[in-house]
């Protein structure tokens, strides 16, 4: 187990130690894991190149650190408790031993299909235990997993498979989400038409619906697993070998394949899980995220299982069958730590207190949030109604690229303050810089959030495009990792995250690039041009507002075109990317160099008219039209 901080002075002491001697600090933590060969150097780095390596030449397999390391004590302890979408269907428990055997079986299946160390395996699965099995089986044989969120469209899936060059895709006949059945296999079939690289598709039977079958390519999971051996020796890997690729949105159209490597990610997710949530052996921990996003990777699967925890995995949605589903699950399994998003909290808050107030949830000890800024109202509701005033809230700030939590209270140790992520974890060195890159020291400052020193969990590159990695994170402020977030440090030295300052928007905790949505809108034959910005939304945090130039649009058919544009975006990206509001305009505010002045659009959708300097606009007269047509 990793060392656990238990007091405020302990935190201050560890933090100081991590700054004074980072290599010594992280070595001490890494030593608690099982390595085939110890590392010869703890850290090598250069943020200008950029290059970061941790635990150099160390050899290990991450799944041995989940299984072999824990089986002696925890063979019969639940590793995963799976709660199905429909509460009347039986739940499933996989003990450490059972999960171990399933992982080994599937590792053997992958091997029998010719998957080797370094190959990429793509997954397009609902929240079912097979997803965890596939991830860990891939890691067991040294292959690289690339999970695509099951809400993405065929086009988005195909784009990700092609970028990663994955030869195998694992999917399901479908998935349940509330009252809906999602036709995953059908979408996967559509995607595969444009992914010549895919040789085999493995299909898990989940919904039992009729699906199309391609005898040359499709294989049933249950057929393959039937005779597979439950033992598979772990491939010995280098600490800096890749563990997974996870695509996320950036400020340009193409999604970024964030790459994490084995050793550093392992040490970082385990350490942050244990310390932030103050997990105690025997606790039941429930993270309500989806494994298709980084939160699920790091804090449903890797962090908890590396620490020998019992992790609850939920297939459904918080409002099905009724808006008390989370609270039911918490009581059913005696959950001690619960982790969700501000959007989920706001949507449940809107359903009324009666749904939560009837649940005592006596076992709850810690509450967490992630993915977007939490507003004070939601924070207090979470604290008072869910936590009954007795559970600390950990507002955890981090990103796909950071691998694990960076700024957050340690539960019950660092005093909280609504809407503040509070203080950096040991080993994390945030700096605030102004737009010229000048570091802003001291209290009561606001600016761009950067990190000035490497931490083990950080992404090492973007798959196949190291130059883009440099451009995206290390070029705005040379020598620093730039997060894309704005931040404020208050009089207590506490950090408050203000949200993205680049062309990324955060809708219901989902990260979307405005450029991707614009590209999708522009595909419509009637659209000449478009610009997308986020606007404050009471439930989703940010909503999507699209300004669309469609000169040929027939008069009076606005609503029809709006609907068709929304459908188009759902089809090209995902239903989560559908614009909430679409305003048809005759032009967009542009500078002489032809760039859209987004600052003005952002002001308009916030209902503000304080545009600042507009003298570089070629068409200042357009502003009045935009304000007039603004869709409240």
State which residue, 203 or 433, has the beta carbon closest to ligand WTA: 433
Nearest approach, Cβ of 294 to ligand WTA (angstroms)? Answer: 5
C-alpha 275/C-alpha 406 separation (Å) is 12
State which residue, 134 or 406, has the beta carbon closest to ligand WTA: 406
State which residue, 138 or 298, has the beta carbon closest to ligand WTA: 298
Nearest approach, Cβ of 500 to ligand WTA (angstroms)? Answer: 5
C-alpha 577/C-alpha 161 separation (Å) is 20
State which residue, 497 or 520, has the beta carbon closest to ligand WTA: 497
What values do phi and psi take at 367, rounded to 5? -120, 140
State which residue, 33 or 379, has the beta carbon closest to ligand WTA: 379
Nearest approach, Cβ of 405 to ligand WTA (angstroms)? Answer: 8
Verify cis geometry, omega within 30 degrees of 0, for the bond prior to 321.
Answer: yes
- List, in sequence order, the alpha helices (H) in 165-254: 184-192, 221-226
Nearest approach, Cβ of 483 to ligand WTA (angstroms)? Answer: 6
Helix (H) or strand (E) holding 265: helix 262-277
Nearest approach, Cβ of 248 to ligand WTA (angstroms)? Answer: 5
State which residue, 171 or 400, has the beta carbon closest to ligand WTA: 400
State which residue, 266 or 370, has the beta carbon closest to ligand WTA: 370
Over its C-alpha atoms, the chain yields an Rg (Å, rounded) of 24
Name the site residues for ligand WTA (rule: CB under 6 A).
248, 293-295, 370-373, 395-400, 421, 483-485, 497, 499-500, 506, 511
Nearest approach, Cβ of 373 to ligand WTA (angstroms)? Answer: 4
Q: Is 611 exposed, middle or buried (0-12, 13-18, 19+ CB in 10 A)?
A: middle
C-alpha 153/C-alpha 571 separation (Å) is 6
State which residue, 185 or 500, has the beta carbon closest to ligand WTA: 500
Smallest Cα–Cα separation from 427: which of 3, 19, 12, 1?
A: 19
C-alpha 572/C-alpha 152 separation (Å) is 9
Q: Which residues of 449-488 are buried (b: 16+ CB within 10 A; e: fewer)?
A: bbbebbbbbbbbbbbebeebbbebbbebbeebbbbbbbbb
Angle at 608 (CA atoms; ends 602, 614), nearest 5 degrees: 70
Distance of CA 163 to the CA centre of its chain: 19
Nearest approach, Cβ of 284 to ligand WTA (angstroms)? Answer: 22
- Three-state SS annotation for 310-337: EEEEECCCCCCCCCCHHHHHHHHHCCCE
Nearest approach, Cβ of 245 to ligand WTA (angstroms)? Answer: 14
Nearest approach, Cβ of 175 to ligand WTA (angstroms)? Answer: 21
State which residue, 60 or 291, has the beta carbon closest to ligand WTA: 291
Nearest approach, Cβ of 142 to ligand WTA (angstroms)? Answer: 26
- Report the residue count for the chain: 632
State which residue, 248 or 261, has the beta carbon closest to ligand WTA: 248
Provide the β-strand partners of residue 547: 531, 583
Distance of CA 219 to the CA centre of its chain: 29
State which residue, 56 or 498, has the beta carbon closest to ligand WTA: 498
C-alpha 632/C-alpha 617 separation (Å) is 25
Q: Please, are residues 69 and 33 in contact by the beta-carbon 8 Å criterion? A: yes
State which residue, 94 or 432, has the beta carbon closest to ligand WTA: 432
Nearest approach, Cβ of 270 to ligand WTA (angstroms)? Answer: 17
C-alpha 314/C-alpha 308 separation (Å) is 19
State which residue, 260 or 500, has the beta carbon closest to ligand WTA: 500
Smallest Cα–Cα separation from 111: which of 8, 233, 194, 215?
A: 233
State which residue, 94 or 127, has the beta carbon closest to ligand WTA: 127
Write the DSSP string, 431-445: EEE-TT--B--SSSE
Beta strands in 67-172, from DSSP E residues, in sequence order: 78-83, 92-95, 120-124, 144-147, 168-172
What values do phi and psi take at 6, rounded to 5? -125, 0
Nearest approach, Cβ of 129 to ligand WTA (angstroms)? Answer: 23
Nearest approach, Cβ of 288 to ligand WTA (angstroms)? Answer: 13
Strands 529-537, 541-549: pairing is: antiparallel
Residues 6+ apart with CB under 8 A from 150: 124, 125, 126, 127, 175, 182, 184, 290, 292
Nearest approach, Cβ of 541 to ligand WTA (angstroms)? Answer: 9
Nearest approach, Cβ of 622 to ligand WTA (angstroms)? Answer: 30
Angle at 163 (CA atoms; ends 157, 166), nearest 5 degrees: 75
State which residue, 99 or 451, has the beta carbon closest to ligand WTA: 451
State which residue, 302 or 333, has the beta carbon closest to ligand WTA: 302
Verify cis geometry, omega within 30 degrees of 0, for the bond prior to 83.
Answer: no
- Using DSSP's 3-state secondary structure scheme, residue 86 falls into coil
C-alpha 397/C-alpha 75 separation (Å) is 33
Nearest approach, Cβ of 74 to ligand WTA (angstroms)? Answer: 28
């Amino acid at each position: 187990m990793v060392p656990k901080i238990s007091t405020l002075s302990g935190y201050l002491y560890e933090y100081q130690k991590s700054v004074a001697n980072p290599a010594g600090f992280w070595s001490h933590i890494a030593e608690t894991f099982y390595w085939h060969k110890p590392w010869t150097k703890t850290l090598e780095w250069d943020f200008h190149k950029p290059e970061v390596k941790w635990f150099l030449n160390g050899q290990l397999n991450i799944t041995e650190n989940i299984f072999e390391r824990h089986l002696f004590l925890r063979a019969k302890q639940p590793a995963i408790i799976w709660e199905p979408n429909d509460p009347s269907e039986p739940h499933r428990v996989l003990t450490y031993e059972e999960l171990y055997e399933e992982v080994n079986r599937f590792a053997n299946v992958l091997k029998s299909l010719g998957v080797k160390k370094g190959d990429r395996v793509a997954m397009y699965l609902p929240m079912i235990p097979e997803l965890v099995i596939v991830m860990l089986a891939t890691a067991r044989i040294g292959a690289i997993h690339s999970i695509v969120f099951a809400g993405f469209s065929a086009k988005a899936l195909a784009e990700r498979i092609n970028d990663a060059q994955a030869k195998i895709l694992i999917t399901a006949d479908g998935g349940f989400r509330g009252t809906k059945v999602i036709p995953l296999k059908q979408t996967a079939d559509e995607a595969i038409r444009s992914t010549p690289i895919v040789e085999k598709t493995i299909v898990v039977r989940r919904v039992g619906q009729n699906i199309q079958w391609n005898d040359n390519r499709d294989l049933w999971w249950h057929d393959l697993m039937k005779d597979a051996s439950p033992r598979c020796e772990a491939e010995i890997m280098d600490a800096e070998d890749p563990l997974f690729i996870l695509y996320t949105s950036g400020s340009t159209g193409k999604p970024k394949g964030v790459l994490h490597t084995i050793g550093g990610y392992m040490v970082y997710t385990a350490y942050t899980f244990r310390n932030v949530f103050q997990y105690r052996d025997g606790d039941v921990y429930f993270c309500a995220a989806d494994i298709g996003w980084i939160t699920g990777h790091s804090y449903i699967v890797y962090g908890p299982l590396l620490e020998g925890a019992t992790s609850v995995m939920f297939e459904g949605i918080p409002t099905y069958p009724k808006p008390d589903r989370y609270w039911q699950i918490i009581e059913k399994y005696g959950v001690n730590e619960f982790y969700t998003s501000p959007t989920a909290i706001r949507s449940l808050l809107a359903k009324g207190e009666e749904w939560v107030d009837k649940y005592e949830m006596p076992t709850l000890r810690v509450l967490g949030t992630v993915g977007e800024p939490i507003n004070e109202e939601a924070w207090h509701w979470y604290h008072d109604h869910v936590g009954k005033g007795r559970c600390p809230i950990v507002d955890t700030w981090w990103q796909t690229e950071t691998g694990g939590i960076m700024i957050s209270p340690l539960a019950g140790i660092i005093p909280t303050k609504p809407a503040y992520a509070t203080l950096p974890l040991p080993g994390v060195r945030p700096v605030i810089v102004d737009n010229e890159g000048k570091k802003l020291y001291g209290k009561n400052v606001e600016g761009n959030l950067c990190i000035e020193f490497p931490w083990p969990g950080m992404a090492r590159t973007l798959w196949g495009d190291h130059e883009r990695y440099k451009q995206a994170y290390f070029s705005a402020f040379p020598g620093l990792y730039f997060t894309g977030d704005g931040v404020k440090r208050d009089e207590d030295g506490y950090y408050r995250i203000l949200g993205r300052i680049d062309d990324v928007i955060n809708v219901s905790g989902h990260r979307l690039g405005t450029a991707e949505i614009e590209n999708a809108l522009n595909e419509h034959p009637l659209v000449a041009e478009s610009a997308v910005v986020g606007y404050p939304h009471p439930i989703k945090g940010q909503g999507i507002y699209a300004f669309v130039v469609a000169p040929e649009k027939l008069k009076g058919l606005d609503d029809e075109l709006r609907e068709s544009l929304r459908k188009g975006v759902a089809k090209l990206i995902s239903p989560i990317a559908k614009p909430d509001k679409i305003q048809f305009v005759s032009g967009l505010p542009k500078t002489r160099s032809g760039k859209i002045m987004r600052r003005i659009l952002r002001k308009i959708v916030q209902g503000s008219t304080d545009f600042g300097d507009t003298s570089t606009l070629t068409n200042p007269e357009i502003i009045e039209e935009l304000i007039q047509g603004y869709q409240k």
